[in-house]
Amino acid sequence: DSGVTQTPKHLITATGQRVTLRCSPRSGDLSVYWYQQSLDQGLQFLIQYYNGEERAKGNILERFSAQQFPDLHSELNLSSLELGDSALYFCASSVGSEVRREKLFFGSGTQLSVL
């Protein structure tokens, strides 16, 4: 168990809908990262937050947004969902913000299916 909690584990929804994925980092970790993993694909970096502030941004679609709250949990909001958004979404956390030396700890992911 990595200590990173993601909910829900599975999410089934329809095109055009909006969903929220939630992540609680390991105790003491201040950074949260979101990654998207499509079928047989690698891990695509979406966004990183550090202590409530956006730290780095990847190829995150404008339909997607995220935030990190004062208690350090994070939410990833996906709106106007399309079939191609179906994927496994991972949250990871690390102690600090300096990615050049951080060890990431991953949650078990949220499987999103858009029908």
Partner 1 sequence: GENVEQHPSTLSVQEGDSAVIKCTYSDSASNYFPWYKQELGKGPQLIIDIRSNVGEKKDQRIAVTLNKTAKHFSLHITETQPEDSAVYFCAASIREGTYKYIFGTGTRLKVLA
Binding site residues, partner 1, CB under 8 A = 2, 4, 33, 35, 41-43, 45, 48, 55-56, 58, 90, 92, 98-109
Say if residues 92 and 33 touch (Cβ distance below 8 Å): yes
> How many other CB atoms are there within 10 angstroms of residue 18's CB atom?
11
Amino acid occupying residue 33 = Y
Distance CA 73, CA 17 (A): 23
Alpha-carbon separation of residue 54 from 17, 49, 64, 75, 111 (angstroms): 25, 4, 14, 13, 24
Q: Which residue lies nearer to partner 1 by CB, 41 or 51?
A: 41
State the minimum distance, in angstroms, from the CB of residue 23 to partner 1. Answer: 11
Q: Which residue lies nearer to partner 1 by CB, 12 or 18?
A: 12
Q: Which residue lies nearer to partner 1 by CB, 45 or 52?
A: 45
State the minimum distance, in angstroms, from the CB of residue 99 to partner 1. Answer: 5
What region does 15 belong to: left with phi over 0, alpha with psi -120 to 50, or beta?
beta
State the minimum distance, in angstroms, from the CB of residue 103 to partner 1. Answer: 5
Q: Which residue lies nearer to partner 1 by CB, 15 or 41?
A: 41
State the minimum distance, in angstroms, from the CB of residue 49 to partner 1. Answer: 12
